[in-house]
């Protein structure tokens, strides 16, 4: 960190508890930190993780929604509460499945 003001700003914005998971690798058994441990390093790791997580979420979310929708439709068919069969019908169901 450039100075204490930067460290304070990061901790007020993110909080120590959010960053504490990233500190585990740098902590000794006696609850002190390894020499050379810097808040700027921990913050850089946090930022990388945040950006990477958001990137993956953007890729995974449409897949998750599609799977969830297909599962909901599949489970709803026996009770006839899914979308009309003209819009969606599982391949194993006969065309006159009503």
What's the pTM?
A: 0.63
Contact 10, 43 (CB under 8 A): yes
What burial class does residue 36 get, using C-beta atoms within 10 Å of its C-beta: 0-12 exposed, 13-18 middle, 19+ buried? exposed
| pLDDT of amino acid 93 | 67
- What single-letter DSSP state applies at residue 94? -
What whole-number distance in Å separates Cα of residue 39 and Cα of residue 45? 10
**Looking at residues 27-44, what average pLDDT do you find?**
92
pLDDT tens digits along 75-97: 877 766 655 555 556 667 666 65
Indicate the average pLDDT of the chain: 84
Encode pLDDT of 60-80 as tens digits: 999 999 999 888 888 877 766
- What is the gyration radius of the CA atoms in the chain, in angstroms? 25
Dihedral of CA atoms 10, 16, 20, 23 in degrees, nearest 10, equals 50
């Amino acid at each position: 960190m450039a100075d204490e003001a930067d460290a304070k700003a990061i901790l007020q914005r993110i909080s120590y508890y959010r960053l504490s998971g990233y500190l585990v690798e740098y902590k000794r058994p006696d609850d002190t930190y390894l020499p050379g441990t810097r808040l700027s390093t921990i913050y850089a790791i946090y930022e990388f993780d945040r950006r990477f997580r958001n990137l993956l979420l953007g890729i995974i979310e449409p897949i998750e929604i599609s799977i969830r929708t297909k599962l909901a439709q599949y489970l709803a068919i026996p009770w006839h509460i899914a979308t009309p069969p003209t819009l969606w019908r599982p391949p194993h169901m006969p065309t006159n499945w009503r």
